[in-house]
Amino acid sequence: MNLFRLDASIRTHGSHSRQLADLVEYEWTDVHPESRIVRRSIGTEPLPSDAWASAAYAGFTPEDKRAQAQIDAIGMAAALVDELVEADALLFAVPLYNFGVSQHFKTYVDLVTTDPRMAAGGAPALIGKPAVLVTVRGGAYRAGTPREGWDHATPWMRRILEDVWQLDVRTVEAEFTLVGVNPALDEFRDLAAQMRGEAEATARSHGRALASHRSFSAEDLDQGTR
């Protein structure tokens, strides 16, 4: 059994998305201690921002006329998709940055979709594969908050993973991760601690479901969100 894990945080220490993803991974390795875990940290080792354009235009260029940059980009996209296809389960940890999707994750998704196995309009090579998406937000964006609707990342990521790539996805979400960092949020310490506990419980639950390689049940839904 193989697990693919992607981290998009620009931090290695103090990263809330990594910490929650660690809980998911712990549950996986508890069931599959001998499993292989393939890691890709696109936040600290970003993909070239121009690779997507090179790979995309290569698709309209005869093979014998492709520039070296196009050849390299095609190879890079194929390697990324190989990692996804060869894994039995997938774990994506992507924080909210500036109200939108991480540029690192957007570049990753764009490059992956240039590979014929994941091209738009066809059946993606990952149909039905189990996955967990971990995402964290420094403030609060849920319904009823002043910034309701400001999270432009989570809906997009779910659309890609669930509808375009057709993965069997469950989501772990944590908010108020800047409480304790930003003094303006000190009044929300208790609420932030409660939210953190809920997110950690969800991460463990989804990690166990991921490890069992089964469809997520109604019991899982009670402990998390899709």
**Residues paired with 107 in a beta bridge:** none
Q: Coil, strand, or helix at residue 150?
A: coil
Confidence check: pLDDT of 220 > 80:
no
Q: Read off the pLDDT of residues 177-211 as tens digits, 9 standing for 90 and up.
A: 888 888 888 888 999 899 999 999 999 999 999 99
Q: Give the bridge partners for 91, in sequence order.
A: 5, 132
Superfamily of domain 2-222: Flavodoxin domain (3.40.50.360)
Answer yes or no: is pLDDT of 163 > 70. Answer: yes
Cα separation, 65 vs 106, in Å, equals 28
Do residues 136 and 175 touch, judged by C-beta distance below 8 A?
yes
Q: Is the pLDDT of residue 218 over 50?
A: no
Residue 214: the pLDDT is 55
Question: Mean pLDDT, the chain, as a whole number?
Answer: 92
**Amino acid letter for position 151:** D
Residue-range domain boundaries for the chain: 2-222
